[in-house]
Structure 1
């Protein structure tokens, strides 16, 4: 996720200070890693330096100072350009489960791979059940529901892949073992 653009998008709804931006982010992206305050303020400094946001005012009111920021014309332009860009699918497989599977199959002992796949599948199934239970509780929040649906759909795809791989683990192990021998 591109934090600078997300913060620009939130600021496009109206001026806010860093604490509000963090809360807004965490509320709108409940399945994402919560933002650290340091990350918010570092990003705000960069956005201000680059002319995409500016300080609107600083409020104290007997509490710690809070600087409110607003998006600039250049910031809105940058945000709209980002929103218009399509995101290509990832060109390479970078999934750690896939890497573990290949390594587990290298030595020819399929039980290691089968055990890893079974444990991984159980973990994913538990997470799916957790998301389904939470999904019913967030019906009134479209952003939370979309976030949970996104997480659920990715887990469901991973579970399908784990099932497919579990069915062909012996054949796949042979292929991986032979590939290494041919190139040695």
Structure 2
């Protein structure tokens, strides 16, 4: 069976959520997956074309008065089978985190300690904003999607984000103390 990149599998999954156009797909990804999987329009449209070419999705083109044609994408049975097969596969790799604050901290002996503390304090503030965003998303899911069978899994990924972000906040506090 042909293998695809993870962004293609993400698109297969998004199509199960009744997102039909490239714009709707991008909006849903920005609202949900963006916290752990980023994808651009420049990736979406070529991947959608591949899905159609490989029979994993179909496209319905509708003309609109005074606007470009509207393309709506639909997952095929084959696409659903490929998604399910990918979900069963073991992880191929654990992602390495690229973290600017850690990169700067690694070389921070070249700056005064108070500047390093300021860097970490700012990072902690940004992390707290992420927690606030995650809590708002959690409330929105509970309010608007409590009956959706996917909601439980959305909350699992959200819980991962909240827990790792809270751990990073604790790390900030401990590191600031050690620098003092």
Q: Which category of TM-score, normalised to the shorter sequence, fits these structures?
A: 0.5 to 0.7
TM (normalized to structure 2)?
0.67
Report the equivalent of 1:181.
none
Larger Rg: 1
Please give the alpha-carbon distance, in whole angstroms, between the structure 2 residues aligned to 1:81 and 1:168: 47
Report the equivalent of 1:179.
none
Report the equivalent of 1:159.
169
How many Å apart are 1:118 and its aligned residue?
2.2
TM (normalized to structure 1)?
0.66
Asked if the contact 1:15/1:71 (under 8 Å) is kept, the reply is no
Please give the alpha-carbon distance, in whole angstroms, between the structure 1 residues aligned to 2:17 and 2:136: 31
- Which secondary structure does the structure 2 equivalent of 1:16 belong to? coil
Asked if the contact 2:19/2:25 (under 8 Å) is kept, the reply is no
How many Å apart are 1:12 and its aligned residue?
4.2
Asked if 1:11 is matched to 2:11, the reply is no
Asked if the contact 2:63/2:69 (under 8 Å) is kept, the reply is yes
Number of aligned residue pairs: give it.
Answer: 167
User: C-alpha deviations, 1:126-184, integer Å up to 9, x for none?
Assistant: 443454456445421454972654433232121012122223337xxxxxxxxxxxxxx
Report the equivalent of 2:148.
none
Report the equivalent of 2:126.
123
Report the equivalent of 2:98.
94
Please give the alpha-carbon distance, in whole angstroms, between the structure 2 residues aligned to 1:11 and 1:131: 23
Please give the alpha-carbon distance, in whole angstroms, between the structure 2 residues aligned to 1:60 and 1:118: 53
Q: Which runs of 5+ in 2 are unaligned?
A: 146-150
User: Which of 49, 56, 62 is the aligned partner of 1:45?
Assistant: 49
Asked if the contact 2:26/2:41 (under 8 Å) is kept, the reply is yes
Alpha carbons of structure 1 residues 111 and 44: separation in structure 2 relative to 1, 3 Å: same
How many Å apart are 1:100 and its aligned residue?
1.0
Structure of greater relative contact order (alpha carbons < 8 Å, 6+ residues apart): 1
User: Which of 58, 67, 73 is the aligned partner of 1:69?
Assistant: 73
Q: Which runs of 5+ in 1 are unaligned?
A: 171-184
- Which secondary structure does the structure 2 equivalent of 1:60 belong to? strand
Asked if the contact 1:9/1:79 (under 8 Å) is kept, the reply is yes
